[in-house]
């Protein structure tokens, strides 16, 4: 009888894990607290370390219809638009054997959801939240709560926590008090515009990164080249948890005024901003006691390296590989598989977390330190930029 796995969370990380575990021959039930999952209003970048996994899962044709493949990354100074560095994504794809994609989160989630709905061995249960898990008379039991407040306890072999930054599963695995995620003092303001409205922006069809004192802007095309995803990260004081809240364009007036003219004109066209206060937390042990963590539940990644979703997809592939040969009738075999998963992931995820934090500091330098940063970027050149991230983009999952 195949192992039975419960997954807390039906977002990108949870559905990726479901597909990888089902591919490994396991019976998977995904519990998602929202009755209807919507990942609207934001873009996402998928570098080769993640896109190769999605290709291996057979999702390439569906994603290629929806994703853009920007030709390059252009790094500019926010104040005057001076070009500091470029990196070719086409060369990166050739170098690492997988594409660099940019797409809407909703499109990626939709492809994963469609695949999960049609995959043998996956059951999706929306409107149910995982509340507890543990051994009850030698049976591992997962307790969920429905929208009506009713709780149900069911037997599973394993629980995977893909329930995000404020993870319940993380608390179950680590019952001693952990510090809450820490507000970083930065907010990400997100918006979408028709790409046609960015005609005055240099290289609007590429990924643009504009570095400024205490703020930076990222933009890239999504929705098969019809929309431009825009993210402005700035210092802020609002420490309200949550992925998205409305923001007033008037708050951004000083940041917009400080930008080079093409970017200033673009940002001035946005009337509908969604705000995400940025929180950070240290990574934790990712597995134990028949529980595994994935994505932000295990290792939140600040968005300064575009690796949050990528790391969750990596987790999914590694968890599938670790559990593929486990004997679910043997507690020792299952414990050994979970230990292998933790070993595969903890050092890697910690390295990505550190690199993202370092980028956040570097992006927001003020003078005179920003002059040194700019000089380094101009010196290393496109090949140097690519080599700098070989460790990140060149990662490959273990074979199942």
Question: How far, in Å, CA of 165 to CA of 10, rounded?
Answer: 14
- Candidates 21, 28, 122; CA nearest to 326 is 21
Q: Which residues contact 285 (CB under 8 A, 6 or more apart)?
A: 173, 174, 342, 346
Structure tokens at 330: 């043997």
Please report which helix (H) or strand (E) contains residue 186, including its range.
strand 182-194
Question: How far, in Å, CA of 102 to CA of 226, rounded?
Answer: 12
Name the DSSP letter for residue 68: B
Question: How far, in Å, CA of 30 to CA of 51, rounded?
Answer: 22
DSSP for 230-257, written as a single string: EEEEEE------SS-EEE-GGGGHHHHH
Q: Which contacts qualify for 358-364: CB closer than 8 Å, 24 or more apart?
A: 359/304, 359/305, 360/184, 360/186, 360/302, 360/304, 362/211, 363/209, 363/211, 363/216, 363/233, 363/304, 364/211, 364/212, 364/213, 364/214, 364/215, 364/216
Contact 235, 214 (CB under 8 A): yes
Annotated catalytic residue 220: yes
Question: How far, in Å, CA of 31 to CA of 125, rounded?
Answer: 5
Q: Which of 100, 186, 220, 363 is catalytic?
A: 220
Residues carrying an active site annotation: 220
């Amino acid at each position: 009888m195949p192992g039975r796995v419960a997954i807390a969370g039906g977002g990108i990380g949870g559905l990726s894990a479901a597909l990888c575990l089902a591919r490994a021959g396991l019976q998977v039930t995904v519990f998602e607290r929202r009755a209807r999952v919507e990942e609207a209003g934001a873009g996402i970048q998928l570098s080769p370390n993640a896109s190769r996994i999605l290709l291996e899962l057979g999702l390439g044709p569906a994603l290629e219809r929806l994703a853009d493949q920007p030709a390059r990354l252009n790094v500019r100074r926010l104040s005057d638009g001076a070009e500091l560095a470029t990196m070719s994504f086409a060369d990166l794809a050739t170098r690492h054997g997988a594409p660099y994609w940019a797409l809407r989160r909703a499109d990626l989630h939709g492809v994963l959801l469609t695949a999960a709905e049609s995959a043998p061995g996956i059951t999706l249960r929306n409107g149910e939240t995982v509340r507890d898990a543990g051994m009850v008379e030698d049976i591992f039991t997962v307790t969920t709560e429905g929208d009506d407040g009713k709780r149900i306890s069911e037997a599973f072999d394993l629980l995977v926590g893909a329930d995000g930054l404020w993870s319940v599963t993380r608390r179950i695995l680590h019952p001693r008090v952990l510090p809450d995620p820490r507000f970083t003092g930065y907010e990400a303001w997100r918006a979408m515009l028709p790409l046609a409205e960015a005609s005055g922006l240099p290289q609007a069809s590429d990924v643009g990164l504009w570095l400024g004192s205490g703020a930076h802007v990222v933009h890239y095309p999504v929705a098969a080249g019809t929309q431009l995803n825009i993210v402005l990260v700035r210092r802020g004081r609002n420490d309200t948890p949550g992925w998205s809240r409305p923001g007033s364009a008037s708050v951004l007036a000083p940041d917009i005024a400080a930008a080079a003219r093409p970017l200033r004109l673009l940002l001035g066209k946005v009337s509908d901003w969604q705000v995400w206060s940025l929180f950070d937390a240290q990574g934790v042990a990712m597995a134990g006691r028949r529980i595994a963590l994935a994505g932000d539940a295990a290792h939140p990644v600040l968005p300064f390296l575009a690796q949050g979703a990528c790391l969750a997809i990596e987790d999914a592939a590694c968890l599938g590989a670790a559990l593929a040969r486990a004997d679910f009738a043997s507690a020792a075999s299952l414990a050994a598989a979970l230990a292998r998963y933790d070993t595969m992931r903890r050092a890697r995820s910690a390295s990505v977390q550190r690199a993202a934090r370092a980028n956040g500091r570097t992006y927001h330098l003020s003078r005179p330190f920003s002059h040194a940063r700019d000089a380094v970027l101009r010196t290393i050149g496109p090949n140097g930029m690519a080599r700098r991230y070989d460790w990140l983009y060149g990662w490959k999952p273990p074979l199942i």
